[in-house]
Chain A
Amino acid sequence: MNILADPIELARDAVLYSHENKSLLRFIACGSVDHGKSSLLGRLLFDARLVPDDQIETLRKDTGQLTGPDNELDFSLLFDGLAAEREQKITIDLAYRFFATAKRKFIVADAPGHEQYTRNMATGASTAELALILINAQSGLTQQTRRHALIAATLGVRHLVIAINKMDIVGYAQDVFDAIERDFRAFATRLGDVELIFIPVSAKKGDNVVHRSRAMAWYRGPTLLEKLETVDATPRAAKAAFRMAVQWVSRPTPDFRGYCGLIAGGIVTPGQEIVVQPSGQRTRIKEIITAGGELARATIGQSVTLTLTDDVDVSRGDILADAAAPASVSDRFNARIFWMGQSGDTGALAPGGRFHIKLGTAKAAARIAGPIKLIDLAEDAAIKPADSLLSNEFGLCTLELDRPLAADAYDDNRDTGSFVLIDAESHDTVAMGLIERASAEEQAAPVRTSLIGHVALRVARLFGARESHSRSIAKALSWRFTGSFDTFIIGWLITGNSKVAGSIALTEIVTKIALYYFHERAWALVPWGRR
């Protein structure tokens, strides 16, 4: 180690330091068509002095506005990128934008407003920590606003910034702003645990975007940029239990075996006891290897290579999890599904549909078992029975896999609780899936990782299937008394001895109640012949 600092090194560190300490915030910008989203994002970049001169020049040419102050350009034209979008003057696909201020780097998923492109909005929300939802002050809350807020909250976005735009057109009136805030808050009871921030803005004039508005002195909260720069960007799973899906097994030499992956939850340290899921083998972490050297600990979001103390069987698709708080392992999951199939065979999701599932780094075959319920986004997420899910619809269903996989509830961990369904023929990604928290009954079932393999899981499921245990026991008892009375009568008729007949029947009650119970639970697992 050098004691004297190298001046070049010092200069290098100074430049790096000023940038490196920035954090990263991913957010999604959404809202109804014509509520001014592209203009607001353009204004944000322009006022933060992040639009290069040659792009402003192009903007002038595109708008045919070759003179006049830059401040009045149509900033929405900075963004629409595809030829079809420029022709139709709408945003179709999700675009990613980047900008950095002195405090943060931002990755913005710029989502289209039209309902038929909601799938692109859902994709953008899946990785966002914050959603910027635009509302036109003139029109107030729309169906699409509610829809976007519900989707963002469902996908785990924790902060909703509601920017009420075009305040200049309504004369910067506070009562307009207040009325929209009231409406939104009344609806937002549906959204669960999210932070709501309301900001009155004018994208066109630049009020409360980067610069504080002089026309709205009644507003005391942060400007849009202030909020974006200060919101807590830590992923929820940072405090969750350790999880890592194995991506790649590294075997550069015969005596080295490392498991590569991106940490999806919590913290890992050498010596920590872990469990390999779904197999259930327990072992300990030996080293955390990176190209920059071994680490004493690694946290969520880091790509690492782990070595283990024991020679256990681990391959791509397995999850390494904290042994004290493992993921649940099952070949049956309840999930919220967002259907994205567009036409033909993938136009709708129906019971019995078969797909490839990608959950973490694992793949399996999946089947939609049992009925589907629709989460009606048009009616504040009311749950209704449905025959199928159409494109851009959210629903609930049960998936049956051809092998057990490890997973968490989506609300606990976005990475280990999410999956996509892939159409086996076209290979298109047709659905996003969010694992539901297991019900109390399912959690009580001994479906745990200490049991090995599929057979053990099948047996364990005898105690955790569709019919409740008390119902199975009640059925066993009622049948037994009917059946045993019959045995007693027949025994008496044949032997002529009521005592012998009585003891046969009594013994039978005890043994057959038990047999019936198991027989019933076994049948409960067989879907064949059910309607």
Chain B
Amino acid sequence: MNDITFTTAQARASYLDQLEAESIHIMRETAAETDKPVMLYSIGKDSSVLLHLAQKAFYPGKLPFPVLHVDTTWKFREMIEFRDARAKELGLDLIVYINQDGVKRGIGPFTHGSELHTDVMKTQALRQALDLYGFDAAIGGARRDEDKSRAKERIFSFRNAHHRWDPKRQRPEPWRLFNAEKRKGESIRVFPLSNWTELDVWLYILRENIPVVPLYFAKPRPVVSRGGTLIMVDDERLPLEPGEQPELRNVRFRTLGCYPLTGAIDSTATTLDDIIRETLDSRFSERAGRVIDKDGAASMERKKQEGYF
């Protein structure tokens, strides 16, 4: 059994309890209705919540599915350390998948641009991994408040045999009746956190004492400013422009991804309380710091159609 502490169930039912109960319901439906589910673990705060909810859903049993991390090889070093420590601590059945073909071709965000890098190392890699292991359902931590096209996506989101999402052919999803029926080769992406917002995620992390990557908390870090985005110099692969000098700034991250594509924000938030206060006061949406989401209008919708999470 997992060595993990959960808060005592409250007598009163708050909206966080309702969100939690619904997410647990979704995970149990996925495990029961699909042949070979997997949980995607991207190491960020949403994944941390997802993992915590999964453990609650199947307590006192173990997770009835493995956990998959698609590694683009450009993640922050602290993310990888955190991932390995958590997997060990919780006894997770962790699969790490890297698109070896992309590695051979030397695909990276600086040499090939953010769009191609994301496509090869993230989208293609995910599709390869799902096909390789034959997973017919992938549970992910995406939320509807992240993006306009996500706001329209179902909780059980159907993909054809080529992993394509067809926004015009989405199955209606009334009540809590999720339809997981599909043909061989087709698959389903499941989003138990669909109805959570960024604030809900942080409040829940606070309430449940869920560990998160330290990059979410502010501390002096070496960054360079590029087109208004603060990029952290996480390793020597970041090519410095002539005369460019990393400066030490007190920064943190609101979302985590590939370090060259994730902008930091100036912040003094060093505790969860601080983060929550900052989230409440923020006049900017969460993904404003993501480079890849700005690749043209409707970019998320297109990426999703191609099989991006």
B172 at the interface (CB under 8 A from A): yes
Stretch at the interface among B17-25, B79-87, B110-118, B241-249: B17-25
Question: Which residues of chain B from 125 to 152 have any CB-CB distance to chain A below 8 Å in the complex?
Answer: 144-145, 147-152
Cβ of B22: which chain A residues have Cβ within 8 Å of it?
262, 303
For residue B273, CB closer than 8 A to chain A, the reply is yes
Assess the A290–B9 pair: CB atoms within 8 A: yes
Which of A98, A251, A303 is the one whose CB lies under 8 Å from B61?
A251
What is the CB-to-nearest-CB distance from A79 to chain B, in angstroms, rounded to a whole number? 7
Q: How far is the CA of A45 from the CA of B213 in the complex (A)?
A: 32
Q: Given that A96-B144, A96-B195 are known contacts, is A262 also in contact with B25, CB under 8 Å in the complex?
A: yes
Asked if A507 is an interface residue, CB under 8 A from chain B, the answer is: no
Q: Scan B135-176; emit 1 where CB is below 8 A from any A CB, else 0.
A: 000000000110111111000000000000001101111111
- B residues 204-237 with Cβ under 8 Å of A? 206-207
Shortest beta-carbon distance, A2 to chain B, in Å? 14
Given contacts A55-B285, A422-B181, contact A81 B151 (CB under 8 A): yes
Q: Shortest CB–CB separation between residue B191 and chain A, in angstroms?
A: 11
Quick check: A252 and B284 within 8 Å, CB to CB?
no
Q: List residues of chain B with CB within 8 A of the CB of A293.
A: 6, 8-9
Q: Given A11-B273, A54-B284, A96-B194: A24 and B15 within 8 A (CB)? A: yes
> B179 and A427: CB pair below 8 A?
yes
Judge if B90 is at the interface, Cβ distance under 8 Å: no
Within the assembled complex, what's the spacing in Å between the Cα atoms of A15 and B58? 29
Binds A, one of B26-34, B39-47, B69-77, B94-102: B26-34
Q: Which residue of A lies closest to B14 (CB)?
A: A20
Whether B167 pairs with A82 at a CB distance below 8 angstroms is: yes
How far, in Å, is B217 (CB) from chain A's closest CB? 15
- On chain B, the residues within 8 Å of A420 by CB distance are 172, 174-175, 177, 179
Cα distance A107–B22 in the bound complex, in angstroms: 13
Task: Answer whether residue B292 sits at the interface, using C-beta atoms and an 8 A cutoff.
Answer: no
- Complex Cα distance, B8 from A80, in Å, reads 41
A302 touching B195 by the CB < 8 A rule? no
Q: Whose C-beta in chain A lies nearest to the C-beta of B20?
A: A303
Which residues of A1-54 are within 8 A (CB) of B?
11-12, 15-16, 19-24, 52-54
Least Cβ–Cβ distance between A88 and chain B, in angstroms: 12
The distance in angstroms between the C-alpha atoms of A93 and B165, with both chains bound, is 14
Question: Measured between alpha carbons, how far is A122 from B174 in the docked complex, in Å?
Answer: 8
Determine if A54 and B285 form an interchain contact, defined as CB atoms under 8 angstroms apart: yes
A252 CB to nearest chain B CB (Å): 4
Query: Which chain B positions have C-beta within 8 A of A127?
Result: 174-176
Closest Cβ–Cβ distance, residue A73 to chain B (whole Å) = 16
A115, chain B: closest CB distance, angstroms: 16
With A20-B16, A418-B174 as given contacts, are A361 and B32 in contact (CB-CB < 8 Å)? yes
Q: How many residues on the A side are at the interface (Cβ–Cβ under 8 A)?
A: 74
Q: Select one of A11, A123, A260 contacting B172, CB under 8 A.
A: A123
B56–A290 CB distance below 8 A: yes
In the bound complex, how far is the Cα of B175 from the Cα of A30, in angstroms? 18
Which residues of A are found within 8 Å of B207, using beta-carbon distances?
A: 16, 20
Q: Find out whether the CB atom of A16 lies under 8 angstroms from the CB atom of B173.
A: no
Contact of A432 among B1, B10, B16, B174 (CB under 8 A): B174
Which residues does chain B contribute within 8 Å of A98, judged by CB atoms? Answer: 144-145, 195, 197
Task: Say whether, besides A82-B301, A123-B173, A292-B7, A94 and B152 are in contact (CB < 8 Å).
Answer: yes
Mask, B40-69, CB within 8 Å of A = 1, is 000000000000000111111110000000
Chain A residue numbers with a CB within 8 Å of B172 are 119-120, 122-123, 340, 420, 429, 432
Bound Cα distance A92, B149 (Å): 12
Contact call B283/A262, Cβ cutoff below 8 A: no
Asked if A452 is at the interface of the complex by the 8 Å CB criterion, the answer is no
Across the interface, A250 reaches (CB within 8 A) one of B58, B145, B182, namely B58
Known A-B contacts A94-B152, A107-B195, A295-B9; A15 and B206 likewise in contact (beta carbons under 8 Å) = yes
| Known contacts A122-B174, A291-B59, A293-B8; is-contact A24 B18 (Cβ 8 Å) | yes
- Residues on B lying within 8 angstroms of A by beta carbon are 1, 6-10, 12-22, 24-25, 28-29, 31-32, 55-62, 144-145, 147-152, 167-168, 170-177, 179, 181-183, 194-195, 197, 199-200, 203, 206-207, 272-273, 276-277, 282-285, 288, 298, 301-302
List, sorted by A's number, 19 A–B pairs whose CB atoms are closer than 8 Å. Answer: A20-B203, A20-B207, A22-B14, A53-B283, A82-B298, A84-B167, A84-B168, A122-B172, A247-B25, A260-B28, A262-B21, A262-B24, A290-B9, A292-B7, A293-B9, A301-B18, A303-B57, A361-B29, A418-B177
**Besides the contacts A52-B282, A340-B172, what 7 more A-B pairs have beta carbons closer than 8 Å?**
A53-B283, A82-B149, A123-B173, A260-B57, A303-B22, A420-B177, A428-B171
- A-B pairs, 4 with minimum CB distance: A81-B148, A252-B61, A291-B59, A292-B9
